[in-house]
Structure 1
């Protein structure tokens, strides 16, 4: 057999973490894929594919064809009392098809990464906020506050994207202040051209509260806040007042008090905007959660954690969160096309539209392996700042259905 030629595809868009990096290089050798050049570890792992036979669809662990699996899934949904459509790791076409499915069969819709989103919502609903975009941070921010643990472990190219060496508009030496965990090796390398400082604290809420008071020209009582000396915070408040564009960023999903961090960061930004320019940049976006959430808002008028029953929709951010909804459900329709994310433990029936490499604790009642958007088929996702939709291209010929195709097979039988 002749050797298969290696094709290199340039400027590939990555849809996995929400940063929307669009400069990846991928080598294609037949059906094998591998990332090359500048790429984070997560993208390299999730893009990597070998030329192996596809995992078959199955019913009760026995291999079947797609039509048989779809018919079995439809039968389970028709007999369900309460269905949770969870995971929701899919592109926009898949999200639209799943919404149609919920309208037809009923069910609660929630994304597996929605905890951080709703911690941020809790703050935005109470106070509102002035949010910025990736492009604004990249090109205008001259003082960045990173609250909580170093996020570069989850977003491998975050600081490369947020703080390039040659921004369009920001002038002078830029500064990054870590409030909480120390910057890791990746962050330090990507921020080598910026001034980095670290305020070690296990109480970022107290630090943000003190910074708000200091930014208002008042001195809070006490010698330290969250373990950080008042003098250090006063110096930072002075620097923020002198900055052209201050941005506060955090990962609410990694913070037990993420809603309070969001609220205090928002209050600080409000104070700063009286005399300078500032904004918040909450982190998130994994597996197109922003896009799925946007689609539900357009289609149903409610975000994630919404129940659809009898052509009516009801939203409850606590009652319809995955963990709470599973307590009342008898069927879980689990969707994870971007990564081999297994479903949570569940005693009821499970229908899985899953990445073919998913390892299950217990074999699903119905399994339909699906292709990955941006690898096996084209699609669209949203970037984490919610204003930019990103087109994903296919890197190889698909032999598995997309989520949208699998859902249509279930619905139209």
Structure 2
């Protein structure tokens, strides 16, 4: 029976929080996350860290088992013959992302991440007006009034409020308050916010945020109700925001139908607050190293995700080169998802999948190359959702599957 190793202060690359205080048990090739400092383990970490000591999935071509080398050769052949590839998913670490950009430079193609919808809804606001963004450390240590727009975000970021509200912040003194606008905190959020003054406003976020910016600026909206709320309730929140020392507005644009408008109105509110006090936005996101992949695209190509590489040049279009739109004109899709068993979207062309070994496909891809997970099978680096901190991930067990970077290198070599 294999010895059980307990490893503390393990970093997690699955969501944009990039927590680095997990406890993990490793027994042979079996891996399991254990309760962390708060006495519980994040459900996402528990699910995605879990590995059994069983044989890994094998490479396949047209549904038939083959070697990694032969699968890479077939992928090379498909890309050589392709006229409009799309490299999608892109759930990988920084080294894997760099290899995928190299692949696009060699064969051409569109590059996009599966979680980029919220990012580009936020970009719509940034491109028009810019914004003043907070970091996780600033929220933890300065924020005395947090406005959460939309539904409870702990469904996607299980330890969010635990990270936002440490027992002893460095600078925030006195009452700390959280207001949910257009959403309701669940049991997990309430537990993490124990001791924090918590309130809810059920109004429509876009209208309420717009009115808050006016009220903070000293103007009064003409209507008696704002987004379904009495003007007096909105005015009371505006007064609380104006009286705060450091207010922060946070939202998940991907989960809001009008996420781009929420981002724009939240930015305007923060701008108004910064005339007399301090405030910032904290957009939520960052799943599967989204922020790191986007950063690398900017470094390498001068453009963010949703960029086409063709010949000696590249072009960016946030709508035309989104995965769903780009696939309409594509003949080959390279799907990459190393952090989680995320299946590729439906596509009628050729599919090359560099996939988590537990992935269940609705339709068998033309080429399947199972890959290891950063932070479990091999070391890597990811970026936190605020784009400030890059987090090193360590290997927890001996790898039997290649990393995305290794698999891409084999494909490129043919």
Is 1:158 aligned with 2:160?
Answer: yes
Match of 2:393 in 1: 392
* Structure 2 residue ranges without an equivalent (≥5): none
Q: Distance in 2 between matches of 1:62 and 1:326?
A: 26
Q: Distance in 2 between matches of 1:159 and 1:165?
A: 11
Matches within 5 A, 1:226-305: 226-305=227-306
Q: Distance in 2 between matches of 1:342 and 1:282?
A: 26
Which of the numbers 32, 35, 46 marks the counterpart of 1:34?
A: 32
**1:374 counterpart SS class:** coil
Match of 2:214 in 1: 213
Deviant stretches of 4+, over 3 Å: none
Match of 1:109 in 2: 111
TM-score using structure 1 length: 0.99
Contact 1:14–1:20 (CA<8 Å) still a contact in 2?
Answer: yes
Cα deviation for residue 305 of structure 1 reads 0.3
Q: Distance in 2 between matches of 1:266 and 1:328?
A: 35
What does the per-residue CA deviation read over 1:249-291, in whole Å, with 9 as the maximum and x for residues that have no partner?
Answer: 0000000100000000000000000000000000000000100
Which of the numbers 40, 51, 56 marks the counterpart of 1:49?
A: 51
**1:9 counterpart SS class:** strand
Cα deviation for residue 165 of structure 1 reads 2.4
What does the per-residue CA deviation read over 1:164-193, in whole Å, with 9 as the maximum and x for residues that have no partner?
Answer: 221111001100000011111111000011
Is 1:324 aligned with 2:325?
Answer: yes
**1:297 counterpart SS class:** helix
Matches within 5 A, 1:344-355: 344-355=345-356
Q: Distance in 2 between matches of 1:389 and 1:212?
A: 34
**2:158 counterpart SS class:** coil
Q: Distance in 2 between matches of 1:311 and 1:411?
A: 18
TM-score using structure 2 length: 0.98
Match of 1:10 in 2: 8
**1:22 counterpart SS class:** coil
Q: Distance in 2 between matches of 1:270 and 1:324?
A: 34
Is 1:190 aligned with 2:188?
Answer: no
Q: Distance in 2 between matches of 1:120 and 1:322?
A: 17
Q: Distance in 2 between matches of 1:369 and 1:278?
A: 45
Cα deviation for residue 311 of structure 1 reads 1.7
**1:207 counterpart SS class:** helix
Cα deviation for residue 217 of structure 1 reads 1.2
**2:309 counterpart SS class:** strand
Cα deviation for residue 398 of structure 1 reads 0.4
Q: Distance in 2 between matches of 1:183 and 1:164?
A: 18
Contact 1:165–1:193 (CA<8 Å) still a contact in 2?
Answer: no
Cα deviation for residue 128 of structure 1 reads 0.4
**1:160 counterpart SS class:** helix
Q: Distance in 1 between matches of 2:48 and 2:296?
A: 25
Q: Distance in 1 between matches of 2:319 and 2:219?
A: 38
Name the Cα RMSD after superposition: 0.6
Matches within 5 A, 1:5-154: 5-38=3-36, 39-154=41-156
What does the per-residue CA deviation read over 1:368-390, in whole Å, with 9 as the maximum and x for residues that have no partner?
Answer: 00000001000000000001100
Cα deviation for residue 14 of structure 1 reads 0.4
Is 1:176 aligned with 2:178?
Answer: yes
Q: How many residues align?
A: 410
Contact 1:4–1:29 (CA<8 Å) still a contact in 2?
Answer: yes
Q: Distance in 1 between matches of 2:223 and 2:365?
A: 57
Cα deviation for residue 401 of structure 1 reads 0.1
Q: Distance in 2 between matches of 1:275 and 1:216?
A: 9
Q: Distance in 2 between matches of 1:35 and 1:264?
A: 39
* Structure 1 residue ranges without an equivalent (≥5): none
Match of 2:339 in 1: 338
Q: Distance in 1 between matches of 2:224 and 2:284?
A: 32
